[in-house]
Copies of this chain bind each other. A is one copy, B any other.
Amino acid sequence: MENNNQNCSEIATRIYDLDTEVYRCVGSSLGRTFTGDRDACIEDITRMLITNPRVYECRSQIALIGNMARTIKNKDDRRRLMTEYNEILNMIAEIPESFGSVDILNENMAALNTSNLRQKFSKDDHLIICIGRTHGSAGSDIGFALADKLKISYYDAEIFQQVLERMDMEQENIEDSNDYHNHAHEFDSKNPNKKPHGLVKFFKNFSKYHGLPVQDAIFFNQSDLICDMAKNEDFIVMGRCADVILTNKRIPHISIFITASFEQRVRRMMNVYHLDYKHAARMLRKLDHQHGHYYNFYTGRKWGNAVNYDLCINSASYGIDESVELIERMINQYPNR
């Protein structure tokens, strides 16, 4: 502790002297940061440095000295004083409980986060980007273009439905051929390809989905599919609460939310669907409501709340192409890519 105080007093002295020097070189009419008796100032700075969280106050004052030092016209003076400034910052960083020493990192989240590239991502993991988006924000266009640029697969609700239907059909074909003789009476014997219908189909679905409502069954089938895919390939997945599903299964990924202001999205819906303002706005409100309900129902989280994603992008600020580039640039330090 005594040692720490001694150290802080040294740093304080250097801060005070830097301030004096910067003031001498910059000649600003705004004057010095620390005015008053030298010893009193140094004592005061020392107190700030050792009294967390007052160290933050001290940081602002040092930053102000740094801001001024950057404006020094003489190149040699500027370099000399910026070097001293950086050394002082490094010394402060060594003080226990200095600013920046208490990180905000959530180890659990970070371990799952694909953009924490070097440290956390093993080469067995696949690049999985989950994109949530509001309707009309061009989020799916951005996702599609990004997949194309990264040369990885793109999955959305339509594709999942297709894949699941095909898997289902394949399954049914196997079951049908196995069970054909047992259940021959269920089928029109003149047309063996005819599918069971009505109550029969209902009970068939019921047992297939383990008694779950069909919507839930689809959700769980999609979830399983996403986790299976994550073992085998790199991909972008639109919506499907994929971020939450992967987090729960502890599968690394990056989660991005794409949105834009309501007005901007309405304008885009008007263009895409050839609607007037009133109808586009009504459609959007309805879609937003359904979307939020779906996400909340299956995840218990609030849809679109920034704290639920790694990153939120305002697509109206960037447009489709810039947004794609922005995400690309962010992840382009992915090793071996």
Contacts and interface: CB of A to CB of B under 8 A. Distances in A.
Interface of A: 29-31, 33, 52-53, 56-57, 59-61, 63-64, 66-67, 70-71, 86, 89, 99-100, 102-106, 109-110, 113, 115-116, 136-138, 140-141, 144-145, 147-148, 151-156, 158-159, 162-163, 166-167, 169-170, 233, 235, 257, 259-262, 264-265, 268, 271-273, 304, 306-307, 309-320, 322, 326, 329-330, 332-333
A312 B315 contact: no
A70 B235 CA distance: 11
Contacts of A329: 329-330, 332-333
Contacts of A113: 317-318
A120 to B, nearest CB: 9
B144 A63 contact: yes
30 contacts: A30-B167, A31-B166, A33-B162, A59-B144, A63-B147, A63-B159, A64-B163, A66-B154, A67-B155, A67-B235, A100-B138, A100-B145, A102-B271, A104-B136, A104-B264, A104-B315, A104-B316, A104-B319, A104-B320, A106-B317, A110-B319, A110-B322, A113-B317, A257-B306, A257-B312, A260-B307, A261-B307, A304-B306, A310-B318, A311-B312
Contacts of A71: 233
A163 B311 CA distance: 34
A243 to B, nearest CB: 11
Contacts of A61: 158-159, 162
Contacts of A115: 317-318, 322, 326
A272 B318 contact: no
A268 to B, nearest CB: 5
Contact of A306 (B109, B148, B233, B314): B314
Nearest to A147: B63
Given A63-B147, A70-B153, A260-B106, A141 B99 contact: yes
B159 A322 contact: no
Given A56-B140, A106-B317, A307-B314, 11 more contacts: A30-B163, A31-B170, A60-B156, A60-B158, A71-B233, A104-B136, A104-B137, A109-B316, A109-B317, A110-B319, A310-B318
How many monomers of this protein are in the complex?
2
A320 B100 contact: yes
A243 B207 CA distance: 56
Nearest to A114: B317
B57 A158 contact: yes
B104 A154 contact: no
A153 B332 CA distance: 28
A218 B96 CA distance: 35
7 closest A-B pairs by beta carbon, nearest first, are A105-B319, A60-B158, A312-B312, A104-B138, A67-B153, A106-B316, A306-B312
A281 to B, nearest CB: 15
A313 B233 CA distance: 27
A135 B286 CA distance: 34
